[in-house]
Chain A
Amino acid sequence: MNAIDIHVHHSWTKLADRPDYEIERTRQLARQSGVDKVLLLTGGMDATPEELRERNDCTLRLMQSDPDFFLPAMYLCHEHGARIIKEEARRCAAAGMLAIKQGLYRVAEVGASQRDLASDAGMDPILEVAAELDMPILFHAWYKTVEVFQGELNGADVAALARRHPHTRIIMAHLTGVGRRGVQDVEDLPNVWVDTCGGWYDSEMVEYAVRHMGADRVIFGSDYPGRDYAPQIGRVEGTDLPDEVKEKILWRNAAEVLGLGKRGR
């Protein structure tokens, strides 16, 4: 069963410095593992507006090099302000981007809790422009007991954002990372999906997500290259779910959320 992988990182950040070997590996290993298309993610929380624009341009170049395989997602930085955020989002959308990636969140004040995110308006322009452009946002999220990144979002943070922006579609990354608590955080929010990666292949986790969120809201993601496509697909194919549900998780849901039919891909 071939798949669309909604969670693949690339490291091309400067146009003049294309990492050819890594890019070819991304494609080669995906295809031998049964992945037909990947949503390419880049970072940029610390980037200036100019640097972020260049990073997004790198992602666009990859799309142009193989539009059937590389599906592009832009990065937007909440610290750049509403005007720059929205201009960059519209520029990237016009060039063919399909989604938005968000990584860590920088808390506004030293000592401020991550929970402040629920009332902090800093992220609003990104969520507003995502709704305007009808694009999903893939948010890094995790519930960790150790090695928590500063400003790392968890399921409750994602839920707070989703409630504030009910017309914005959100993909909460790392099902195994957010665990059962994370699933329950968002299960009643129809504008939130979850992707299947987040560490190793804990049994019963995908079934749990399907039971709580429904088969239409769980999407395959590998977290390549930190992870390996084949076992990450194996964690979906190895579930005790009907074939039609696996098919939804592995590609139908991603195609729907990314609007591949509407966008001619």
Chain B
Amino acid sequence: MQENLYLRSALAEEEVVVFAWKNPGRGGDSMESISRRQFLGVLGAGMTLAAVRPLPAFAEEAMAVKPSVSIFDVNCGCGVWPFRPTFPADAPSLESLLRAEGITRACAYPLEAYLWPDPQEANELRLPQLARSSFFVPSAVLNPTLPAWKKGYLRCREQWNVPLVRLMPNYHLYDLAHTGVGALAEQVASDGVVLGVHVRAEDKRMQNPIAKVPPVPIDEVVALARRHPGLQVVAFGFGRLWDKCELVPPAMVNQLQLRAELEKRPDLPDNLWIELSFFEHESSFANALKLFPAERLLFGSHAPLFYPRANVAKIQYSEAPEEAKRAAFKANAEKLLGVKA
């Protein structure tokens, strides 16, 4: 049995869609996968697929620099991003990309869920493929303002045993005080499922002008965690310290010299976890440790929208203690999701 994969490129001014064939197999071993470099080469050679060979050369190069610890990536998307090329689109290729950076387990979600009117259709498209590989921990995206959200939730639990449900309130146009969010929060808390909130997916300054989506205010995520103390809440994509939020003292905003003096905020709810893919300052991970408890920080690559190497390096080369790095790279995610990296 074969299935289509499609790869998209904006190599030239007009978008090109190329079809390749693959044979599904365990972990992508039998897949005729192509690296991006090959793909571009193929296009340059007149878009023939005759030159396709199974060699992820970039992956081999990257292996040489991967960190010695194993890494659990809690934030990667599988699928097609509509606004620009983001390779790869399918689960086996995404796995190859992440493994090349030393990532040994990844909690992935369907990328199409950001914009499709019913994210359950995106779950149905991508979660079966993700569930086929032991590398991935499938996670679902839901819109709890839709009348049938609970059917989708139950199906994702029964079919793919998702330990994490993600919300994208800024893309689905609701706020976290919506009654549907409260109902979902109670349901997942009683099931021991984690609830994630995607604060942002892109830099708001460079979004497509026809689709400007502001970030979710982090204090709304904090309030959600406070309203549901029995629920574990993850903020995906919390970014800059000067984002308007209650986590940062006003005097801290944009004041470099104060970063050295920043201490943990004692009033953060214990059930709030912070994913670090967008968190960036002059010494990102060390600053995150000053803001948040070490046992609440989570590595996320935000692949394929970001180069996964960037976020690995952010923690790997940090001045922070090795123990905190290991926790953020793996142990915290294992504890949160109840699965091993």
Contact = CB atoms under 8 A, between A and B. Distances in A.
B305 interface: yes
A240 B58 CA distance: 6
A11 B311 contact: no
Contacts of B11: 211
A225 to B, nearest CB: 4
A36 interface: no
B151 interface: no
B209 A231 contact: no
A176 B281 CA distance: 17
A233 B86 contact: no
Given A32-B317, A211-B11, A235-B310, A199 B206 contact: yes
B35 A146 contact: no
Given A200-B280, A202-B84, A176 B206 contact: yes
Interface string B203-237: 11111110010000000000000000000000000
Contacts of A202: 84, 203, 305-306
Contacts of A207: 36, 40
B161 interface: no
Q: Which of B278, B280, B284 has the most CB of A within 10 A?
A: B280
Interface string A130-145: 0000000000001111
Interface stretch (A21-29, A74-82, A86-94): A21-29
Contacts of A239: 58, 307
A232 B84 contact: no
Contacts of A108: none
Contacts of A200: 203, 278, 280, 306, 310
A11 B258 CA distance: 14
Nearest to A34: B317
Interface residues on B, range: 35 or more
Interface string B286-302: 00000000000000000
B184 interface: no
Contacts of A22: 256-257
Given A145-B212, A240-B58, A25 B307 contact: no
A177 interface: yes
B309 A240 contact: no
Given A22-B256, A29-B283, A225-B282, A203 B205 contact: no
A240 B35 CA distance: 8
A233 B207 CA distance: 23
Nearest to B307: A238
Top 8 nearest A-B pairs (CB, nearest first) are A238-B309, A234-B313, A234-B310, A225-B282, A238-B307, A201-B310, A230-B317, A231-B310
Contact of B206 (A21, A177, A227, A238): A177
Nearest to A243: B61
A124 interface: no
Given A203-B87, A235-B307, A240-B36, A145 B314 contact: no
B37 interface: yes
Contacts of B260: 21
Nearest to B260: A21
Given A22-B257, A144-B206, A203-B86, A237 B36 contact: no
Contacts of A201: 306-307, 310-311
A80 B318 CA distance: 42
A177 B209 CA distance: 14
Contacts of B313: 33, 230-231, 233-234, 237-238
A190 interface: no
A237 B311 CA distance: 12
Contacts of B318: 230
Q: Which of B62, B305, B308, B317 has the most CB of A within 10 A?
A: B317
